Amino acid sequence: MAYPKTHNPFADDDEEEEAYGSNPRGGEDYDGGLSDAEKRQRRLQQEVMRTAQSAVDSSHRSLGLIYEAEKMGVDTAEELMRQGEVLKRTDKMVDNMEEDLKISQRHINSIKSVWGGLVGYFKGKPEPKPAPAPASSYQASDKLKTALSTSREQEDKYQASHPNLRKLDTGGFGAAASVDNSSSVQNGNPKNQHLRAAHQTLDNNLDEMSLGLSRLKGLGLGLQSEIVSQDDSLDSLLNKVDKMDLKINNTNQQIKNLK
């Protein structure tokens, strides 16, 4: 098609934009043929869908964070129980050392006494030392054991939470979903199937978040109870160690005096 020299080649595009508005025909936001009220309603519907999408995405992230926090709480509880086992073994070792010191003290007393030496000579071999009783396994506080058992049942969700949440298909509802004229609310539920799906997902996530927070509370109370119990055991162990240190120094001094 031949154009005169003064023809503007972009004039056809301008005429097309004037004919169809700012968006070409067939665009996602094309509002051609709609009244102002219908356009406003369409924009409000799209805003509702975007808000629903944002709320669902936020609930997914929050749920993932709760799972992650619960996993950390379980790991902390297991480590605290291992620490309690070590504390119990240490306490048992200190008790055995104290028994050995008592035997050493009797030997020192026998050496210092002539009569004690004669008695020891005629007595013959010393009585064999009784075998130590087998150590019982460590028992954590009841609160911690109960909370840990409940949270361990959710372990599969700990492993799958973040990868799965990142890959969730939320394209069925949201700002990009189609908006129809049936998105009004009837009996408290939206007619729009995408909006209903968003509400259902949000409700499920909120329920799961409530359960997760309840489990986290149980873990927190269990950890607190176990820490208090281990603090008492640690104070008792420190007192034993202090007394043991005095006995060892006293025994060493007696041995030096025998030389």
pLDDT profile of the chain (259 residues), mean per 10? 50 47 47 78 88 91 90 92 92 90 82 61 54 66 87 73 46 43 47 83 92 93 93 92 90 78
Which of 43, 27, 144 lies closest to 84 in space, CA to CA?
144
Residue 87 lies in a domain: yes
pLDDT for position 42:
86
Residue 214 lies in a domain: yes
Domain of residue 78, residue span: 38-123+136-171+187-258
pLDDT for position 8:
52
Residue 225 lies in a domain: yes
pLDDT for position 235:
93
Based on the structure, what is the number of domains in the chain? 1
C-alpha torsion sign, points 143, 145, 147, 148: positive
Q: What is the dihedral of CA 198, 203, 209, 212, to 10 degrees?
A: -130
pLDDT for position 194:
82
pLDDT for position 39:
86
**Which residue intervals of the chain are DSSP H helices?**
11-20, 36-112, 114-123, 142-152, 155-166, 193-258
pLDDT for position 135:
55
Residue 79 lies in a domain: yes
Residue 101 lies in a domain: yes
Residue 178 lies in a domain: no
pLDDT for position 28:
46
pLDDT for position 223:
94
Residue 119 lies in a domain: yes
Residue 26 lies in a domain: no
